[in-house]
Amino acid sequence: MGKPLVFAYGNAEFSFDPMKIDRSVLYGFKEVEVLDERGQRCELATLADDGKTVVGRGGVTYAYLAPDGAWCDKAALKPVDLEGREIQPVASSFSAPVPLAEKASLEEYLSHNVRSVYLMQSDGSPAELLAELRGGTIFKFPYSFRGGLEADAGFLLAGADGNVFLAVASPTRIEFVGLQEAAGAAEEESGEEEADLLDFDMI
């Protein structure tokens, strides 16, 4: 079992063990195994740009190069935003207790794209916190698993069955698409010209 996620609620701290819920847990999973003509299992390989060199597993990696082509040590790199200002990394949510101070509305929660869901299991009995969650309260906090440049939005809420869940999400960015120019309504023709073209005397 991994490191627990600790929440600070009121004057107490509560520890939860997150268990990730994915499709394999809900529906099971299947694997496709590729065998050669001798029945041996095949492994994925990478074909180099020359079209003839085959690189096996573990033979490809990433490198950081300066504009002049010099090798860069990853530890010496600093992340910056679009304006060139240095970005301060965020710590892992597992490194310190997470305060539950901000509450989110249902509309705010539904305006996010949920990427991961965790079932929060606890051996203790945080009765006050569970009662508030089961009453419909949604807590929002910055969440980062390992730490990094930006934190995701974490939502702590209770399901209809009373279980507590952690939803990791990001804000939904909706772009409205429309016509560049408004089309005017075309005037209807009287139909007199069409009537002139049709002469029943010709039948």
Tens of pLDDT along 120-153? 988 776 788 899 999 999 999 999 999 888 899 9
- Stretch 85-110: mean pLDDT: 92
What mean pLDDT is reported for the chain?
Answer: 85
Distance CA 57, CA 63 (A): 17
- Stretch 17-38: mean pLDDT: 86
Residue for token pair 């099971």: 28
Does the structure show a pLDDT above 60 at 163?
A: yes
Does the structure show a pLDDT above 60 at 199?
A: no
Q: Which two tokens stand for residue 81?
A: 């935003």
Does the structure show a pLDDT above 70 at 79?
A: yes
Phi, psi of 196 (to 5 degrees): -65, -30
pLDDT value at residue 126:
77
pLDDT value at residue 196:
54
**Please, is 85 exposed, middle or buried when counting C-beta atoms within 10 Å of its C-beta (0-12, 13-18, 19+)?**
exposed
Q: Would you kindly state where each structural domain of the chain is located, as residue ranges?
A: 1-22+87-173
Among 60-74, 94-108, 149-163, which is the least confidently predicted range? Answer: 60-74
Residue for token pair 């200002």: 85
Of residues 25 and 179, more confidence is placed in: 25
Distance CA 48, CA 60 (A): 10
The pLDDT > 70 percentage for the chain reads 86
Distance CA 41, CA 146 (A): 34
pLDDT value at residue 193:
52
Question: Residue type for 54, please?
Answer: V
Where is mean pLDDT largest: 12-21, 107-116, 180-189? 107-116
- Positive or negative, the CA dihedral 19, 20, 25, 27 is positive
- Positive or negative, the CA dihedral 74, 77, 82, 87 is positive
pTM value is 0.68
Distance CA 163, CA 169 (A): 19
Q: Which two tokens stand for residue 203?
A: 């039948």
CATH code for the structural domain at 1-22+87-173? 2.40.290
Residue 1: band (very low, low, confident or very high) from pLDDT cuts 50, 70, 90: low
